């Protein structure tokens, strides 16, 4: 982490704690998502703070089984990216298709614009509304919900000055969590990447989520490419649950 990145990281940490004490609902730093959709007429705000980027992503349960997101990824300048600090707009929708009787697993699908920055080559400036994507959010509970597996296969299309026409990619992400394996701590790990016209290296993130009670959660992760060429680095997330969040709700 260079001095420029350190300053940005400290700034996002400050914002993170502002979010915490102002009562906003949740934070997430993983590429993989679960099937859960916010209940009708409820809302949340996602915030992520990391070495390479941050994200602010409010969402609202606009219709039954539908969640609408509108926010931005904030991408920091670094030695590899040929662009200064900039942001990319996120506008996506998520629809729940099926949920099991115990509300611990199910299937949803997500589509929109504002692909996770991890799916871009780090030499590129990420432009707003120059990509579209769709993916499946599949959550599988294992061993009486002691473990949770989330799988996100998808497809993306990118346009812009950096591409010759439209660049199509198959995206993939999978995450496993061991729920409260050590007291209130849950180990979590994921792998993700893309293949196609552009493609990205296979990357990983691993860390811990702390859940001391039903209303507060904290997560810390580290990410890199498997070949060591660079990744998300250190990231932090917080969650303050201010809305009903019953069994099966997994904001991280």
Q: What is the pLDDT of residue 22?
A: 36
Lowest mean pLDDT among 64-78, 79-93, 133-147, 174-188: 79-93
Q: Check residue 243 and give its pLDDT.
A: 57
**CATH class entry, domain 3-240:** mainly beta
Residue 195 has pLDDT above 50, yes or no: yes
116 burial (CB, 10 Å; 0-12 / 13-18 / 19+) is buried
161 against 132, higher pLDDT: 132
35 — pLDDT class (breaks 50, 70, 90): very high
Mean of the per-residue pLDDT values of the chain: 81
Q: Which residue has the higher pLDDT, 224 or 119?
A: 224
E-assigned strands of the chain? 43-50, 53-63, 66-75, 86-99, 106-113, 131-142, 147-151, 154-158, 167-178, 185-196, 200-210, 216-225, 233-240
- 33 versus 120: the higher-pLDDT residue is 33
Model confidence at 17, pLDDT cuts 50, 70, 90, reads: very low
Is the confidence at residue 225, as pLDDT, over 50?
yes
Confidence at residue 122, expressed as pLDDT on a 0 to 100 scale: 61
pLDDT, mean of residues 89-109: 96
Residue pLDDT, tens place only, 91-100:
999 999 999 9
Q: What percent of the chain has pLDDT over 90?
A: 42
Q: Looking at residues 3-27, what average pLDDT do you find?
A: 45
Q: Which of 190-216 are b and which e, b meaning 16 or more Cβ less than 10 Å from the residue's Cβ?
A: bbbbbeeebebbebbbebbbbbeeeee
pLDDT one-digit tens code per residue, 112-160: 998 887 777 666 667 788 899 999 999 999 999 999 999 999 999 988 7
Task: Break the chain into its structural domains and give their ranges.
Answer: 3-240
For residue 18, what pLDDT is reported?
A: 41
pLDDT at 77 over 80: no
């Amino acid at each position: 982490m260079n001095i420029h990145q350190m300053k940005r990281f400290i700034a996002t940490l400050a914002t993170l704690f502002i979010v915490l004490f102002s009562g906003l609902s949740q934070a997430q730093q993983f590429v993989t998502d679960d099937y859960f959709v916010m209940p009708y007429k409820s809302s949340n705000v996602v915030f992520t703070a990391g070495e390479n980027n941050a994200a602010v992503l409010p969402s609202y349960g606009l219709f039954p089984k539908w969640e609408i997101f509108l926010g931005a990824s904030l991408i920091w300048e670094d030695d590899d990216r040929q662009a200064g600090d900039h942001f990319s707009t996120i506008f996506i929708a998520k629809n729940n298709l099926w949920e099991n009787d115990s509300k611990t697993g199910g299937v949803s699908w997500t589509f929109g614009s504002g692909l996770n920055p991890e799916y871009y080559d780090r030499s590129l400036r990420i432009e707003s509304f120059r990509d579209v994507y769709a993916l499946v959010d599949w959550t599988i509970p294992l061993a009486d919900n002691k473990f949770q597996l989330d799988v996100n296969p998808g497809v993306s299309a990118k346009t812009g000055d950096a591409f010759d026409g439209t660049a199509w990619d198959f995206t993939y992400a999978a995450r496993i969590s061991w729920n409260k394996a050590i007291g209130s701590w849950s180990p979590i790990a994921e792998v993700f990447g893309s293949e196609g016209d552009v493609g990205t290296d296979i990357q990983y993130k691993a860390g811990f989520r702390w859940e001391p009670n039903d209303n507060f959660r904290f997560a810390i992760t580290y990410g890199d490419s498997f070949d060591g060429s660079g990744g998300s680095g250190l990231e932090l997330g917080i969650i303050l649950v201010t809305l009903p969040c019953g069994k099966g709700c997994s904001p991280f």
